[in-house]
Structure formats: C-alpha cells, structure tokens
C-alpha cells in the first residue's frame, strides 16, 4: 500500500494587524503580516473549558514561518482547503525552529467565527 505524503498545511490564511487608520470609505486599514499556507486544528475536549456558562475551546493554526512578531488580537482569515472561511484573533503563539525539517509557528486563536 502506497501512502500519500501528509499535508500539514492544507489551508490558506492571512494574518493582519490594524494600523489604526481608515481609508476614504471609513474601512479599517490593515498591514499584512503573513499570507500563505497554514493548517487549522480544532482541539479535543481536553482543551475545552467552561467560561461564563459557555464551553470555550481554542483552535490552533500551524504555519511554516518562524519570522513572525504577532500580538494578541491580530486578525486571522482562514480559507480551509474545502472552501469554508473562518476568521479569528490571536490569543497566543509560539515559534519552533529546531532545524530546516522542523520549524514553524503555532497560533492559538480566540473569537473564531464562521464567515460562511
């Protein structure tokens, strides 16, 4: 049996930060921090907690980039490989750079919404 290579980054995402400015139409202006491949993972029930009577979990986004300087509440737009569109904000992130074979960033998201 031939196994296909596992794709850790099947989705596409855009990470952006508000500049504090608006354009002529009053739309908020953003700087693009990263645009490219990513992989969204939803947590198991072990990563879920009860907050204000609502079960809350923090999905994680993996990207193959290590040169990120993110801030809490930066915005992330995700287009999953099958077309579903989500958006969220950065809760926390961590960069791992062991070698060329194992490097990238994990970004834990909050306020994830389905834009479908």
Query: Is 48 in contact with 87 (CB distance < 8 Å)?
Result: no
Has residue 2 been placed in a domain? no
Specify the number of domains making up the chain: 1
Tell me whether residue 3 is in a domain.
no
- Domain range enclosing 37: 12-47+65-114
**25 inside domain:** yes
Q: What is the pLDDT of residue 3?
A: 47
Asked if residue 18 is part of any domain, the answer here is yes
pLDDT at 109 over 60: yes
CB within 8 Å of 12: residues ≥ 6 apart: 36, 37, 38, 78, 79
Q: Are 75 and 30 in contact (CB under 8 A)?
A: yes
Specify the pLDDT at position 8: 80
Asked whether residue 60 is assigned to any structural domain, the reply reads: no
- In the predicted model, what is the mean pLDDT of residues 27-48? 84
Task: Return the pLDDT at 111.
Answer: 81
| pLDDT score for 98 | 77
Q: What pLDDT is attached to residue 18?
A: 94
Could you give the CA distance from residue 71 to residue 87 in angstroms, rounded to a whole number?
16
For the segment 55-67, the average pLDDT, to the nearest whole number, is 82
What pLDDT score does 63 carry?
A: 93
Q: Has residue 1 been placed in a domain? A: no
The verdict on residue 42 lying in a domain is yes
**Residue 53 forms part of a structural domain:** no
User: Does residue 103 register a pLDDT over 80?
Assistant: yes
């Amino acid at each position: 049996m031939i196994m296909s290579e596992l794709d850790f980054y099947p989705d596409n995402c855009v990470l952006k930060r508000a500049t504090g400015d608006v354009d002529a139409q009053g739309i908020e202006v953003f700087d693009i921090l990263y645009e490219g491949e990513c992989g969204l993972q939803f947590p198991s029930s072990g990563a879920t907690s009860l907050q204000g009577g609502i079960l809350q979990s923090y999905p994680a986004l993996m990207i193959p980039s290590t040169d990120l300087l993110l801030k809490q509440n930066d915005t992330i737009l995700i287009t999953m490989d099958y077309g579903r569109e989500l958006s969220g904000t950065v809760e926390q992130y961590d960069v791992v750079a062991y070698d060329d074979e194992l490097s990238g960033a994990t970004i834990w998201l909050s306020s994830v919404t389905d834009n479908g």
